[in-house]
Structure 1
Amino acid sequence: MIYLVLSISCSVIVGVLLKLAKRYQINIMQAVTWNYLFAIVLSAFFFKPDFSTLNLTIISPIYVLLGILLPAIFLIQGISVQQTGLARTDIAQRLSLFISLCAAYFLFNESFGRLKYVGLIIGFTAIIFTIYRKSGSSSSKHTWWYLLLVFVGFGAIDVLFKLVSQITVIPYITSLFLIFCIAFVFSLLYIFYLAITKKTKIQFINFVCGCILGFFNFGNILFYLKAHRAMSDQPSTVFAAMNIGVIIIGSLIGIVIFKERLSKLNYIGLILALIAILLITISKLHAI
């Protein structure tokens, strides 16, 4: 259980750091870039990837796609946290499992029970309620797009990682290390492009913040994997605790500490999201 608590804590801290980035004028793109450099170092130390299995001829295009999507969605997540709030962004991110489940049904031929269907319907309703925001100023009128991109982006990443897990010629942890490397290269090229074309300064403070971000981002992954190993006979418990824990704690921090304002429909969306995850988890439990 301690691994679950640590994984949830790391995930929420990542959101908090992204929330604080604007206040302290941290360049999110630069921080995200150095985050992957730090993740590479940590994954090499903890995962000890098998480099002997790496061969350019067997590397799937999925690795490259993930290498581009990961920093892109991370950047969008950071903007979403700043524009729409930590609470709503965490809900949108966790509800991205809706896309994963649809892929499981249509692409991977997974059978669905009634509870899962009900959970999906409730989850879809929760998404609509969560991203809803009354039209206000012109600057906030279209912020729901960020939530939608977070939802779709993390869902697509989940599906791609599912495809990566089916690649047997390269161990999964080695694949993860390789994806981090690709993400870092693309991110680095992009910040150099911005430095040349937009005269954006590459600052040391962004490097430091990126390393801190990378520490907690990697910690989220590491402890989540350890939780699954420690509770291998209770995968549904890990799944539910992780998603519900992040939504509840992230929402509380957003509302209480950052004074984020949610509408009544947003609160309904939050409750529906928790119900949807519980139903989907119960359906998984009955399937085991």
Structure 2
Amino acid sequence: MHFLALAVCFSVAVSWWLRQAPAWRLDLGQMVWWNYATASLLCLWLLHPRMDAASLSRMPWGIALALGVVLPGLFVIMGRAVQSAGIVRADIAQRLSLMLSLGAAFTLFGQRIDAWQMLGIALGLLAMLAMLARPAARALRGDAAVWLLAVWFGYALVDVLLKLLALRGADFGTALQSSFVLAFVCMGVAQLLRRARGTRLEWRSLGGGIVLGVLNFANIDLYIRAHQSLSANPAVVFAGMNLGVVALSAVVGMLWLREPTSKINRAGILLAGLAIAALTRAAG
């Protein structure tokens, strides 16, 4: 479970860094672009991916290509969801993608559920609803609902793709490196189109992208290792990741950022702790 706990910490760090970008006048698109360049270099340095013909022939290119498109696209989609629907609703949509991920665990990956897993998942869903509870807000406007649905489906799709990547016989480093390179190329094309319309490259955003790349690489690397170490329990990884991120974000917001919380929110943090304990027991 230590890989999962570390992945949760780095996921929260990625979200925090992205949310600070507007205040620090960082260009989101350029940050995401340089993030994948940084992640690719870290992958080369730390994981030593095999780039020989035999390793490349075993590479699940379809999954790598899908990740190369979906991963950078989700950064943009999340940004649009935050702008059109607000941070709270976008965060709810992201974390409730857990429902689709759990559905995949019990259908696509054939996991059988036991009593501890059922208890942990039930407590986790109650905890998420409690921690994300907010006063009723204004109705959604324009295309906000479309962006929220895209967030909901997109994060579940990434969960499934990363699980498939962990299951395949390809070299882990090679698969991850290929996904990062493809994502960098996709974002590079987008940035060239933006530059043709007058957007200028900024050194400030390059620096922000390097920091984002370090955090993002650690998050994805540790998340895949969690799936590998708990290969028989994908539901535990899916639920633990989403639940852990919401719980840690709530604690950080309450203790560090001094965000106001209700009794329901604080009860959700307690339920999250119980849920994580049950999932840890289920993972053995």
What's 2:195 paired with? Answer: 195
Return the letter of the residue paired with 1:204: W
- TM norm structure 1: 0.75
Contact kept in structure 2, 1:31 and 1:210, CA below 8 Å: yes
Q: Which amino acid aligns with 2:196?
A: I
- Cα deviation 1:185-218 (Å, max 9, x = unaligned): 1111112222324x32222211110001111222
The alpha-carbon deviation at position 78 of structure 1 amounts to: 4.9
Give 1:210's aligned amino acid: G
1:65 is aligned to: 66
Q: Distance between the aligned counterparts of 1:4 and 1:57, measured in 2?
A: 27
Return 5+ residue gaps in structure 1 as ranges. none
CA distance in 2 between counterparts of 1:201 and 1:73 reads 23
Contact 1:85 1:254 in 2 (8 A): no
Does 2:157 match 1:156?
yes
Cα drift, residue 160 of structure 1: 0.9
Rate the CA distance shift 1:159–1:4 in 2: closer, same or farther, 3 A.
Answer: closer
Q: What is the CA–CA distance in structure 1 between the aligned matches of 2:158 and 2:50, rounded to whole Å?
A: 23
Q: Aligned runs of 1:178-217 on 2, under 5 Å?
A: 178-197=178-197, 199-217=198-216
Alpha-carbon distance in structure 2 between the residues aligned to 1:103 and 1:128: 21
TM-score in terms of structure 2 length? 0.75
Matches within 5 A, 1:8-157: 8-52=8-52, 53=54, 55=56, 59-78=60-79, 83-84=86-87, 89=91, 93=94, 96-126=97-127, 133-136=134-137, 149-157=150-158
Deviation at 1:136, TM superposition (A): 3.7
Aligned CA distance change for structure 1 residues 243 and 109 (closer, same or farther; 3 Å): closer
CA contact (8 A) 1:132 1:144 kept: no
Distance (whole Å) between structure 2 residues aligned to residue 4 and residue 103 of structure 1? 19
CA displacement at 1:75 relative to structure 2: 3.2
Aligned length: 277
Q: Is the 8 A contact 1:120 1:276 kept in 2?
A: yes
**Do the aligned partners of 1:95 and 1:123 also contact (CA within 8 Å) in 2?**
no
| Preserved contact between residue 164 and residue 175 of structure 1 (Cα < 8 Å) | yes
In the other structure, the counterpart of 2:247 is: 248
Shift of 1:124: 4.5
Aligned-pair CA distance for 1:44? 0.3
Q: Distance in 1 between matches of 2:104 and 2:211?
A: 33
Residue by residue over 1:138-188, the C-alpha shift from the partner in whole angstroms, topping out at 9 and shown as x without a partner, is 7889878766644432221111112222322x3122101100111111111
Task: Please name the residue that 1:165 is paired with.
Answer: 166
* CA gap 1:166/1:222 in 2 versus in 1, 3 angstroms: closer
Give distance in 2, aligned partners of 1:218 and 1:187: 16
- What is the CA-CA distance between 1:278 and the residue it aligns to? 3.9
Distance 2:70 2:271 in 1: 28
CA distance in 2, matches of 1:173, 1:68: 18
Say whether the 8 Å CA contact 2:93–2:151 is kept in structure 1: yes
Identity of aligned residues (%): 31
Q: Distance in 2 between matches of 1:130 and 1:140?
A: 24
Residue segments in structure 2 that go unaligned for 5+ positions in a row: none
CA RMSD of aligned residues (A): 4.1
Q: Structure 1 stretch 154-163 or stretch 217-226: which is displaced more?
A: 217-226
